[in-house]
Structure 1
Amino acid sequence: MPKLKIELIDVFCGNTEDITGADDFYLLGALVGGEVTKVIATRPIKINDKQTKTFRPEDTVLFEGDIPAGQSVKGGIKAYDEDAGKDWAKYGDTVNQISGAVSAALAATGPQGVTAGTILSVATKAVGIFAGLDKDDLLGATELEISATGPAFEERSWLMKEKGLGWSTWDYKVRYRISRS
């Protein structure tokens, strides 16, 4: 059975969402494949214009597990700029609650019947226990479906950009690596 690992490399900020200084950038979501459900909840990274930052080592693995041939890892990620303070000390409880919500959604449809968008929606709705999440600025969202078959090593980028004419614009690029063995 092929093993698949998805890891964050870094995030580049071309332009912050906050016009007065650095953003507090974090990711939320979930990925499901084979028998593995992996919650994504990175801790905030203070980042400013024209900076590249790495994620904390404990936050870099988005997914790791054995995936049956012909199947994919499904789910997604949303990126935020934290504006409302959260109790990050409850991080472990948050991860467990998101995992429970995603597992319940999978039980209702089975892993093959659920879409990447459904997993992303369930995971981010379950984060309501983080007080004030709705006050944080959503920078972007991406659905992922990554096949168990493909090159041994692959690097991808996720671009988020708000050009608009409004008060706030932003420009981010998150790089991640896919390893298959």
Structure 2
Amino acid sequence: MASSRARIRVELVKVHCYDTEDNLGGDEFYVVGAAACGEIRNVVLTKPLDINDQQTKMFNPTESVIFEGEVDLAETLTIGIAGYDEDFSSDWGKYGQALKEMLDSVNKISPIPGQFGQQLIDVSYTAMSDVLKKIDPDDELGQLTVSRPISEIHAGDKPWPFEGGSWMGKWKYEVTYRITKIPVE
């Protein structure tokens, strides 16, 4: 008999910078966001990685889990994450408090169909920014929003490429995230 449940883990693995957003040096790259499936909600916030053109950096495994839980195959996993370049130093000593505030805020969201991924990003960033005392919003470099039934999710490493530009210059990145899916008996 086929299993109707699975243990799912989605985690950030590494980031490759082809071209930084900052023309005067490296970027301070971090990811913020959340994921939800059924009653389970999780937030992710990585501390900034100093990165420059043509460099690859690994995410800290203790900061990289986007989602983890045992869920029904019929449920839908929604992920909303964004990559940023930190412009001004934040109070990263309040990292734990930021995660708590992010999760509290994400747990209060009433999902809007078709917009839930964006809601996860917006609420997570606002809660994090309030705790870490962001004087000026950091530069958003790219977003990933995914909403898919667990039955259609396949395990493996997945690319999240993004690029953009402004009057300051152009940037190009690729984040690798990993999905682990194990049937539960």
Q: TM-score, normalised by structure 1?
A: 0.88
Given the alignment of the two structures, is residue 143 of structure 1 paired with residue 145 of structure 2, yes or no? yes
Residue in 2 aligned with 1:170? 171
1:180 counterpart = 2:181: yes
How far apart are the structure 2 equivalents of 1:151 and 1:72?
10
2:121: which partner in 1? 120
The alpha carbon displacement at 1:147 in A equals 2.9
Unaligned runs of 5+ in 1: none
Equivalent runs, 1:19-168 vs 2, <5 Å: 19-106=23-110, 115-129=116-130, 130-132=132-134, 134-150=136-152, 153-163=155-165, 166-168=167-169
Larger strand proportion of the pair: 2
CA apart distance, 1:114 = 7.3
> CA separation in 2, counterparts of 1:21 and 1:114?
35
The alpha-carbon deviation at position 145 of structure 1 amounts to 1.8
Change (3 A) 1:48 1:113: closer
Q: Relative to 1, partners in 2 of residues 1:17 and 1:114: Cα closer, same or farther, differing over 3 Å?
A: closer
For 1:33 and 1:113, how far apart are their aligned partners in 2?
A: 15
Instruction: Give the residue type in structure 2 aligned to 1:126.
Output: A
Q: Which segment drifts farther, 122-131 or 56-65?
A: 122-131
Shift of 1:34: 2.8
| 1:167, distance to aligned residue in structure 2 (A) | 2.4
1:38-62 C-alpha deviation (Å, 9 max, x unpaired): 1110010000000111011211221
For residues 16 and 168 of structure 2, what CA distance do their matches in structure 1 show? 21
Aligned mates of 1:152, 1:101 — CA distance in 2: 29
How far apart are residue 121 of structure 1 and its match?
A: 2.1
Q: Indicate the RMSD between aligned Cα atoms, in angstroms.
A: 2.1
Cα distance between partner residues in 2 of 1:61 and 1:146: 18
Shift of 1:33: 1.2
TM-score (normalised: structure 2): 0.86
Residues 44 and 64, structure 2, Cα contact 8 Å, conserved in 1? no
Greater shift in the superposed pair: 145-154 or 66-75? 145-154
Give the paired residue count: 177
Q: Which runs of 5+ in 2 are unaligned?
A: none
Q: State, as a whole percentage, how many aligned pairs show the same letter.
A: 32
* Conserved 8 A contact 1:149-1:180: no
SS in 2 for 1:116: helix
* Corresponding letter in the other structure for 1:138: E
Mean alpha-carbon deviation: is it higher for 44-53 or for 33-42?
Answer: 33-42
